[in-house]
């Protein structure tokens, strides 16, 4: 392995080029090949197998496959099977309930949306679980995560209510279970709804 070293006065040696990236690429080649195959199959299904679509499909598949999948930085993460079993029903329930609330809001002439940005202080540790939570919020009807910060998340909601905070609290607990994490102590979500 060849490394280029620069010497700076009064500072320790600094590595300018690290050739370990090539070794990592070679080690990741089987996973990359699998991603190319899966994405090419998805493209083929979406386009109905039309050969003319591959003019766009080949570059799109290669670019998408070259992106490292994951939930952001933060080191290794693991999922809990029991956490997954508790997460799925809660997510389905709150997704259906949210969709019903949005439909009622849209169809009832006496009710009007009152969109507002709310701040929700996250108790999840920094890393993939927070990114997952931010993306999960986007799937719940009537909510859209707009900004993830060090302290928490900013969310656009159609109507501000206590039920939104309760839903976020329960989803945060389920995400912590899913990622086998402990929530940091805090005021939000300490009491069971």
pTM, 2 dp: 0.56
Is the C-alpha dihedral spanning 45, 47, 53, 56 positive or negative?
Answer: negative
- Any alpha helices (H) in 47-127, and if so which ranges? 54-66, 81-107
- Cα 38 from Cα 47, distance rounded (Å): 14
Nearest to 87 by CA among 183, 192, 181, 170: 170
- Give the pLDDT of residue 19: 52
For residue 52, the 8-state DSSP code is G
- Give the pLDDT of residue 153: 93
- Give the pLDDT of residue 123: 94
Cβ-in-10-Å burial (0-12, 13-18, 19+) of 187 comes to exposed
- Give the pLDDT of residue 14: 42
- Give the pLDDT of residue 121: 94
- Give the pLDDT of residue 77: 59
Question: Can you read off the two tokens belonging to residue 105?
Answer: 């809001």
Q: In what order do the strands lie in the sheet with 116-121?
A: 116-121, 152-157, 143-148
Average pLDDT, consecutive stretches of 10 residues, N- to C-terminus, the chain (193 residues): 40 47 72 84 82 84 74 58 82 80 81 85 90 86 87 87 83 90 70 37
- Give the pLDDT of residue 70: 55
- Give the pLDDT of residue 188: 56
Separate counts of helices (H) and strands (E) for the chain? 5, 5
Q: How far is CA 179 from the centre of its chain?
A: 12
């Amino acid at each position: 392995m060849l490394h280029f070293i620069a010497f700076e006065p009064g500072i320790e040696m600094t590595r300018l080029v690290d050739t370990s990236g090539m070794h990592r690429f070679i080690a990741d080649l089987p996973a990359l090949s699998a991603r190319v195959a899966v994405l090419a199959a998805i493209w083929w299904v979406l386009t109905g197998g039309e050969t003319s679509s591959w003019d766009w499909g080949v570059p799109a598949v290669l670019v998408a496959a070259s992106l490292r999948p994951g939930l952001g930085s933060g080191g290794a993460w693991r999922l809990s099977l029991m956490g997954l079993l508790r997460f799925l029903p809660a997510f389905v329930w709150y997704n259906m309930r949210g969709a019903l609330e949005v439909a009622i809001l849209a169809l009832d002439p006496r009710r009007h949306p009152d969109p507002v940005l709310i701040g929700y202080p996250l108790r999840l540790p920094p890393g993939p679980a927070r990114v997952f939570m931010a993306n999960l919020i986007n799937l719940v009807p009537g909510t859209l995560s707009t900004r993830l910060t060090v302290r928490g998340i900013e969310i656009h909601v159609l109507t501000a209510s206590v039920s939104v905070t309760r839903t976020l609290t329960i989803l945060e607990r389920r995400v912590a279970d899913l990622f086998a994490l402990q929530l940091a102590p805090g005021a939000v979500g300490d009491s069971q709804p």
